[in-house]
Amino acid sequence: MSGILWIVVVGFVAGIIARILSPGPNNPSGFILTTVLGIAGAFLATWVGQAIGHYGPEQGAGFITATIGALVVLFIWNRLVARGIISDPGGR
């Protein structure tokens, strides 16, 4: 259970940093969407790290890899919004 809590906390911070590192018109706006972005990135980084054997079954992604995972999720978000596959909730 503490592993999931660690992923959520690190993911939150990673989401904020990913938005700072990758500014753009299609970035998700708002506190909740940024948090979800970071948590998704941390889960992605944890899953990939466990799949390649870098992390054990009870370990979560570190801060740097969670930030990289959040950047990957942000890149995918930007591509989906740019193609019109999903709508931009922050765009007016």
Residue 52 contacts by C-beta under 8 Å, 6 or more apart in sequence? none
The whole-number average pLDDT for the span 6-22 is 79
Distances (CA, A) of 43 to 26, 32, 66: 22, 16, 8
For the segment 72-83, what is each residue's pLDDT rounded down to a tens digit? 888 888 788 777
Distance CA 92, CA 70 (A): 24
- Closest CA relative to residue 66, chosen from 9, 5, 23: 9
What's residue 25's pLDDT? 64
For the segment 18-40, what is each residue's pLDDT rounded down to a tens digit? 878 876 665 666 777 777 888 88
Task: Kindly indicate the confidence band of residue 84, based on its pLDDT and cuts at 50, 70 and 90.
Answer: confident
Domain regions of the chain by residue span? 2-82
